[in-house]
Chains A and B, each alone.
Chain A
Amino acid sequence: ATVTRRLCILKGIYPHEPKHKKKVNKGSTAARTFYLLKDIKFLLHEPIVNKFREYKVFVRKLRKAYGKSEWSTVDRLKDNKPSYKLDHIVKERYPTFVDALRDLDDALSMCFLFSTFPRTGKCHVQTIQLCRRLAVEFLNYVIASRSLRKVFLSIKGIYYQAEVLGQPITWITPYTFAHDHPTDVDYRVMATFTEFYTTLLGFVNFRLYHSLNLLYPPKIDGQADVELKPTEGKEYAMDSESYLERLSALSASLARVVAPTHDDEVEMDEFPVEGETAEQMDARRKEQEALEKHKKLFEGLRFFLNREVPREPLAFIIRCFGGQVSWDKSLCIGATYDVSDPSITHQIVDRPRVERQVVGRYYLQPQWVFDSVNAKLCLPVADYFPGVLLPPHLSPFVTEQEGDYIPPEKLKLLAMQRGENPDEESEGEDEEEEEEEDDNDKEDEEEGDESEKEEEMKLKKMEEQKTQTNKVLPVKVTAGKLRLEDRQRLEQEQQSEEKRLAIMMMKKREKYLYKKIMFGKKRKVREANKLAAKRKAHDTAVKEERKKSKKAQQA
């Protein structure tokens, strides 16, 4: 069973839901997993099955030799330890490179997770080291190609999204704390996945490095190497490890196969795509320009990371957008300049107060870096000073559609991106919006009222009719009142009635679908309204508190 499981994982075979469950399951509808017969036959033909068998035999022989204390046999067996490669499976599962990129999300997340595991216990040390190496290589590639697009600090970990060859690749890294390893997780399954993912990621890295003319395995650029080696390398770590450590410091650029020429940016020739109007072309060009600008977001800025700040993610992000970054020499290898360097423009601090401040640089909380990257512009720094209550950190992965709830901070941000003055207009907008919302509410209420009124009127009329029919004698003619009929409303009513009648005529299936869609829509609206109401309540509460505190101050 374990072999089958491994094979299924490696070959990417998943169960299928049969079309007629009862037919396949001998009449019962109990939950069972079904694989296609073809898939299982496909597994049987896999050459790696024999390798697995060989390995099993090898383990048996080795155990026997150990039992008999035949050390020479043990040595001989170990020399001939069977090994297998997953190259052909990778190629088979991902016939093209783009396919592989599309499926890279899980591979990256898994590698990043495994690289944070302790070196003892849960899995082989080699696996962890390999994962770490591949992850660091990928990070270095992202820095070199400047392909990072979005970052997000969630309570689960840090999400990154890079765009590689037009494919968005999202991965999550956990915060750097020791894991409390759960007992109800089968690490063997995860290890099998990791085995495949490391192979995949290695090949992808190779290809990516070559696409940028970088050496693979990566070499740190010559000049930086010379600077670093004599001073820190030896006292910091063993020679074998220092290389990876220096690479993972993410502070040095990588060596290229061909020395980079300075006018590196070849202007792309533009070919007008057929069927594309000038406007579309213009929009595309604008987008391209915005992208270029985004890539150079931190160009010319020099950052310094305090020791309480998570070094790796911040160094990675800052380097991805062209900034220079350094940290305390004792914190990690690869620091390029000192705290006292006067050219530092931003110092990232995550403590409530900074004791000695140097004039000429901003002291900012780390969220500024993340928010700036997501906003595609350097945000005003005032909100992010140390000890200040931070503005909410919004997810860059949410694109609000029409009718969705948009938090006011996002509206502000959008206004800022459009180049409007954020302080005055956005607030005005907010207020307007609020007003609009109020209006809407009122309208709704009015509508409700109106319908109720109508009903009342009808009832009254009917009663009148009744009285008229019953009591024929006391006939009394009163002056008729001119009822102003709202044409529009009447028309609307008529339309709605028509619609209702038409809905009656729908086929059963369509009606079901229609009802479902409408239910979903209504639920969406309800949720958005709920959020808006919550926000409103919160804002008023905050305002009142502020007023109170002001009054208290005045008193």
Chain B
Amino acid sequence: LLTPLAPISAKRRPLPSPQTDPLPSAPLQDIRNTVGNIPMEWYQDFPHIGYNLEGKRIYKPIRNKDELDMFLEKMENPDYWRTVQDKMTGADIKLTDEQVELVHRLQKGQFGDVHFNPYEPAVDFFTHEVMIHPVTNRPADKRSFIPSLIEKEKVSKLVHAIKMGWIKPRKPKDDTPTYYDLWAHEDPNSILGRHKMHVPAPKMKLPGHEESYNPPPEYLLSEEEKLAWEQQEPAERKLNFVPQQYRCLRAVPAYSRFIHERFERCLDLYLCPRQRKMRVNVDPEDLIPKLPKPRDLQPFPTTQALVYRGHTSLVRCLSVSPSGQWLVSGSDDCTVRFWEVCTARCLKTLPVGGVVKSVAWNPNPTVCLVAVCVEQSVLLVNPCLGDKLLYGATDQLLESYEAPEEERVQPVQWATATVEEHSKGVRLVVQHSKAVKQVTWHGKGDYFASVVSDNSNMQVLIHQTSKRWSQNPFRKSKGLVQCVLFHPIRPYFFVATQRYVRVYNLLKQELTKKLMTNCKWVSSMAVHPGGDNVICGSYDSKLAWFDLDLSTRPYQLLRHHKKALRSVAFHKRYPLFASGSDDGTVIVCHGMVYNDLLQNPLLVPVKVLKGHVTTLDLGVLDVLFHPTQPWVFSSGADGTVRLYT
């Protein structure tokens, strides 16, 4: 019975195992399932498991065996080991001895049939020896001696393709080694043209202590620093990582941005423009220019010696008598005060009923006369100080004027002072049409010029005291005039507009020079007593030194002050000049002019004088040198005049 069944099972399942072998059950009740070789789980949800030969359903055995039953059966049934379940019918089948034997044989890899001999002697049918007769006597096919058409077609196609160059013969294998001595014949001079300007890639920065896995504690970031680090832009951070400390090497994790950093390096290498940057490797001390020591350039004012108090508002202007004994100051509190220089005593106060914009002492030592700008008029005041003879002579000089016969048309009105005014010291009043900004004397002391704040050509007027006669030198306005000056020696006249200083020759009545100041707005101007050098202060805190012989551009532009310059001054005798600024300082510089034309002037700052308190954003309003001593006066917005010696 077994023998016919075995091949069937072998055919169906190539790897039979004892548990799943679907051997039919006992021959008495032949329940054959007719569903065929299908996955049995298709019947999972049905009460039956298939159909028998008659087409009736085969019902699943009622499964009520639980774990305990299974166990009991395993323990009690001696044939448990040879019982298998038929998947097709769901029935338990006990294997017979022969079947068990078969299973054993199959497990060992032997043939199922006991009687089958796998090692039967071989019958040598086609021997290796050549026989005299053929095995078959069939004549050779025709196709074996006629060339193949298909092959011909294929070959001709290939030939055509080769001829046309569509197919290329297989390349011979490259036998040269991948790596060899590339630099065997290196020539250090063989640099391509492109490489001349080639900038090699800079190396990456080497890590510092803070990158260590166990850095010294001071390199770890504190909480605030960490917070600051997190809030910074990634590009701004000084370190691109947070320093961290690990107890041992085992605890160090992988760095998550490693690939990123490599990639960024790659990008840097091929996308960043490279530039050779010359690092300035200079000692900062070498940058400081070597200047003569201020100690060797003495005398110059060094300390504050006197404070002249009395004004209640800003002191706009100062002037010293040619003898150097008296000082006059004009202020916003509508007074002009006369001081004795050495004692700082106020000798005289002259209320003028208006803001005093400018005062100027007549430079002629034989005349005692002060010009004062008050609103629309210029007052000529005889302060009646010093030698009685002197100021008496001045009065006489003024009174000796005789009016000319014919009235001349003048741009201003000259008037003698009223009695009341006369008692105060005012001698003459020159009435202008507009407010007067500045007044300045010619060196001889007869002429003086006044600047009117106006836009027309009437801005600058030149007056002659002895003849009480005024004239307007300019036909056309060249811009807003800031200040004017007479040349100390020659008949030149300096006019500073906002950006330029024009030098006119008064005799020839023509423009001789136009100095470019390179400043935004000129505030003040002073001429060297030699007459060849001019300095200009400007509101953009620059001081321009012009050498008139050299060029019309500044010889040097000094930026010593931090705020706008209000006034500049030259000393008459000593090579000194000073500048006062809104930052409350007066800077005294040594400005040596050599007689030798080839030698450029030497400019050295020698002292920064402080003392004035800045009020209303104004500091020093006027600076002035003593005519004989190396002293400097300064008037400030704090209502004081100070003397530095």
User: Measuring CB to CB, which residues of chain A are less than 8 angstroms from any residue of chain B?
Assistant: 5, 8-9, 12-17, 33-34, 38-39, 42, 76, 79-80, 87, 90-92, 94-97, 100, 102-103, 105-106, 109-110, 113, 152-157, 159, 170, 174-175, 177-182, 184-186, 189-190, 193, 202-203, 205-207, 210, 216, 308-310, 350-351, 365-367, 389-390, 392-395, 397-398, 407-409, 462, 465-466, 469-470, 494, 497-506, 508, 510, 513-514, 517-518, 521, 531-532, 534-535, 538
- Provide the bound-state CA to CA distance between A170 and B205, in Å: 10
- Provide the bound-state CA to CA distance between A177 and B252, in Å: 10
- Provide the bound-state CA to CA distance between A177 and B253, in Å: 8
The minimal Cβ–Cβ distance linking A82 to chain B, given in whole angstroms, is 9
Q: Do B258 and A392 have beta carbons less than 8 Å apart?
A: no
**Interface residues in B, total, Cβ within 8 A:** 92
Q: In the complex, which residues of chain B have a beta carbon less than 8 angstroms from the beta carbon of A105?
A: 203-204
The yes or no answer to B130 lying at the interface (CB within 8 A) is: no
- Provide the bound-state CA to CA distance between A510 and B323, in Å: 44
Q: Do A508 and B559 have beta carbons less than 8 Å apart?
A: yes
Q: Do A106 and B265 have beta carbons less than 8 Å apart?
A: yes
Q: In the complex, which residues of chain B have a beta carbon less than 8 angstroms from the beta carbon of A466?
A: 307
Q: Do A177 and B267 have beta carbons less than 8 Å apart?
A: no
Q: In the complex, which residues of chain B have a beta carbon less than 8 angstroms from the beta carbon of A469?
A: 307, 309, 344
The yes or no answer to B179 lying at the interface (CB within 8 A) is: yes
Q: Identify which of A33, A95, A177 contacts B271 (C-beta below 8 A).
A: A33
Q: Do B262 and A407 have beta carbons less than 8 Å apart?
A: no
Q: Do B170 and A79 have beta carbons less than 8 Å apart?
A: yes
Q: Do B261 and A502 have beta carbons less than 8 Å apart?
A: no
Residues facing A in B355-375 (CB within 8 A) are none
The minimal Cβ–Cβ distance linking B479 to chain A, given in whole angstroms, is 27
Q: Do B217 and A392 have beta carbons less than 8 Å apart?
A: yes
**Closest 3 A-B residue pairs measured CB to CB?**
A177-B254, A397-B206, A535-B218
Q: In the complex, which residues of chain B have a beta carbon less than 8 angstroms from the beta carbon of A365?
A: 248-249
Segment at the interface with A among B183-191, B412-420, B519-527, B624-632 = B183-191
Sample of 20 A–B contacts (CB below 8 Å) = A16-B273, A96-B188, A106-B201, A153-B252, A154-B213, A155-B243, A170-B206, A189-B267, A203-B179, A203-B180, A206-B179, A351-B250, A392-B209, A397-B206, A469-B307, A502-B289, A506-B288, A506-B289, A531-B219, A534-B218
The yes or no answer to B182 lying at the interface (CB within 8 A) is: yes
- Provide the bound-state CA to CA distance between A428 and B437, in Å: 75
The yes or no answer to B256 lying at the interface (CB within 8 A) is: yes
- Provide the bound-state CA to CA distance between A148 and B168, in Å: 51
Q: In the complex, which residues of chain B have a beta carbon less than 8 angstroms from the beta carbon of A17?
A: 273, 275
Q: In the complex, which residues of chain B have a beta carbon less than 8 angstroms from the beta carbon of A503?
A: 288
Q: In the complex, which residues of chain B have a beta carbon less than 8 angstroms from the beta carbon of A14?
A: 199, 201, 269-274
The minimal Cβ–Cβ distance linking B296 to chain A, given in whole angstroms, is 11
The yes or no answer to B178 lying at the interface (CB within 8 A) is: yes
The yes or no answer to B475 lying at the interface (CB within 8 A) is: no
Q: Do A393 and B218 have beta carbons less than 8 Å apart?
A: no
Q: In the complex, which residues of chain A have a beta carbon less than 8 angstroms from the beta carbon of B273?
A: 14-17, 33-34
Q: Do A501 and B606 have beta carbons less than 8 Å apart?
A: yes
Q: Do B263 and A189 have beta carbons less than 8 Å apart?
A: yes
The yes or no answer to B171 lying at the interface (CB within 8 A) is: yes
Q: Do B181 and A207 have beta carbons less than 8 Å apart?
A: yes
Assuming the A-B contacts A350-B250, A506-B288, are A501 and B258 also in contact, with contact meaning beta carbons closer than 8 angstroms in the complex? no
Q: In the complex, which residues of chain B have a beta carbon less than 8 angstroms from the beta carbon of A390?
A: 214, 247-248
The minimal Cβ–Cβ distance linking A389 to chain B, given in whole angstroms, is 7
Q: In the complex, which residues of chain A have a beta carbon less than 8 angstroms from the beta carbon of B171?
A: 79-80
The minimal Cβ–Cβ distance linking A225 to chain B, given in whole angstroms, is 22
Q: In the complex, which residues of chain B have a beta carbon less than 8 angstroms from the beta carbon of A9?
A: 266, 269-270
Q: Do B170 and A155 have beta carbons less than 8 Å apart?
A: no
- Provide the bound-state CA to CA distance between A73 and B176, in Å: 28
- Provide the bound-state CA to CA distance between A153 and B179, in Å: 33
The yes or no answer to B5 lying at the interface (CB within 8 A) is: no
Q: Do B604 and A15 have beta carbons less than 8 Å apart?
A: no
Q: Do A498 and B216 have beta carbons less than 8 Å apart?
A: no
5 further interface pairs, Cβ-Cβ under 8 Å (given A100-B183, A502-B290): A33-B273, A79-B171, A152-B207, A393-B212, A532-B218
Q: Do B207 and A513 have beta carbons less than 8 Å apart?
A: no
- CB-CB nearest in chain B for A15: B273
Q: In the complex, which residues of chain B have a beta carbon less than 8 angstroms from the beta carbon of A392?
A: 209, 212, 214-217
The yes or no answer to B132 lying at the interface (CB within 8 A) is: no
A-B contact count (CB 8 A): 263
The minimal Cβ–Cβ distance linking B580 to chain A, given in whole angstroms, is 16
- Provide the bound-state CA to CA distance between A497 and B588, in Å: 13
- Provide the bound-state CA to CA distance between A310 and B213, in Å: 15
Q: In the complex, which residues of chain B have a beta carbon less than 8 angstroms from the beta carbon of A12?
A: 270
- Provide the bound-state CA to CA distance between A159 and B208, in Å: 11
Assuming the A-B contacts A92-B192, A182-B260, A185-B259, are A499 and B288 also in contact, with contact meaning beta carbons closer than 8 angstroms in the complex? yes
Q: Do A518 and B262 have beta carbons less than 8 Å apart?
A: no
Assuming the A-B contacts A350-B248, A504-B605, A514-B284, are A395 and B254 also in contact, with contact meaning beta carbons closer than 8 angstroms in the complex? no
Q: Do B180 and A538 have beta carbons less than 8 Å apart?
A: no
- Provide the bound-state CA to CA distance between A30 and B188, in Å: 41
- CB-CB nearest in chain B for A41: B194
The yes or no answer to B603 lying at the interface (CB within 8 A) is: yes
- Provide the bound-state CA to CA distance between A30 and B201, in Å: 25
Assuming the A-B contacts A179-B258, A501-B605, are A155 and B212 also in contact, with contact meaning beta carbons closer than 8 angstroms in the complex? yes
- Provide the bound-state CA to CA distance between A521 and B284, in Å: 10
Q: Do B270 and A538 have beta carbons less than 8 Å apart?
A: no
The yes or no answer to B394 lying at the interface (CB within 8 A) is: no
Q: In the complex, which residues of chain A have a beta carbon less than 8 angstroms from the beta carbon of B247?
A: 389-390
Q: Do B259 and A103 have beta carbons less than 8 Å apart?
A: no
Q: In the complex, which residues of chain A have a beta carbon less than 8 angstroms from the beta carbon of B195?
A: 95
Q: Do B270 and A8 have beta carbons less than 8 Å apart?
A: yes
Q: Do B212 and A152 have beta carbons less than 8 Å apart?
A: yes
Q: In the complex, which residues of chain B have a beta carbon less than 8 angstroms from the beta carbon of A534?
A: 217-218, 222
Interface centre among A42, A113, A156, A518 (most CB of B within 10 A): A156
The minimal Cβ–Cβ distance linking A369 to chain B, given in whole angstroms, is 10
Q: Do B188 and A185 have beta carbons less than 8 Å apart?
A: no
The minimal Cβ–Cβ distance linking A388 to chain B, given in whole angstroms, is 10
Assuming the A-B contacts A76-B167, A538-B218, are A175 and B212 also in contact, with contact meaning beta carbons closer than 8 angstroms in the complex? no
The minimal Cβ–Cβ distance linking B429 to chain A, given in whole angstroms, is 35
The yes or no answer to B11 lying at the interface (CB within 8 A) is: no
- Provide the bound-state CA to CA distance between A513 and B286, in Å: 12
- Provide the bound-state CA to CA distance between A154 and B206, in Å: 11
- CB-CB nearest in chain B for A202: B179
Q: In the complex, which residues of chain A have a beta carbon less than 8 angstroms from the beta carbon of B259?
A: 113, 179, 181-182, 185
The minimal Cβ–Cβ distance linking A205 to chain B, given in whole angstroms, is 7
Q: In the complex, which residues of chain B have a beta carbon less than 8 angstroms from the beta carbon of A182?
A: 259-260
- Provide the bound-state CA to CA distance between A510 and B274, in Å: 26
Q: Identify which of B241, B267, B288, B291 contacts A156 (C-beta below 8 A).
A: B241
Q: In the complex, which residues of chain A have a beta carbon less than 8 angstroms from the beta carbon of B214?
A: 153, 367, 390, 392-393
- CB-CB nearest in chain A for B242: A155
Q: Do A180 and B216 have beta carbons less than 8 Å apart?
A: no
The yes or no answer to B244 lying at the interface (CB within 8 A) is: yes
- Provide the bound-state CA to CA distance between A137 and B123, in Å: 61
Q: Do B266 and A193 have beta carbons less than 8 Å apart?
A: yes
Q: Do A38 and B252 have beta carbons less than 8 Å apart?
A: no
Q: Do B287 and A514 have beta carbons less than 8 Å apart?
A: yes
The minimal Cβ–Cβ distance linking A289 to chain B, given in whole angstroms, is 26
- Provide the bound-state CA to CA distance between A407 and B270, in Å: 38
Q: Do B249 and A186 have beta carbons less than 8 Å apart?
A: no
The minimal Cβ–Cβ distance linking A477 to chain B, given in whole angstroms, is 19
The yes or no answer to B56 lying at the interface (CB within 8 A) is: no
Q: Do B201 and A103 have beta carbons less than 8 Å apart?
A: yes
Q: Do A179 and B181 have beta carbons less than 8 Å apart?
A: no
The minimal Cβ–Cβ distance linking A98 to chain B, given in whole angstroms, is 9
Q: In the complex, which residues of chain B have a beta carbon less than 8 angstroms from the beta carbon of A79?
A: 170-171
The yes or no answer to B476 lying at the interface (CB within 8 A) is: no
The yes or no answer to B226 lying at the interface (CB within 8 A) is: no
Q: Do B249 and A189 have beta carbons less than 8 Å apart?
A: no
Residues facing A in B225-263 (CB within 8 A) are 241, 243-244, 246-250, 252-263
The yes or no answer to B333 lying at the interface (CB within 8 A) is: no
- CB-CB nearest in chain A for B185: A91
The yes or no answer to B454 lying at the interface (CB within 8 A) is: no
- Provide the bound-state CA to CA distance between A91 and B186, in Å: 9
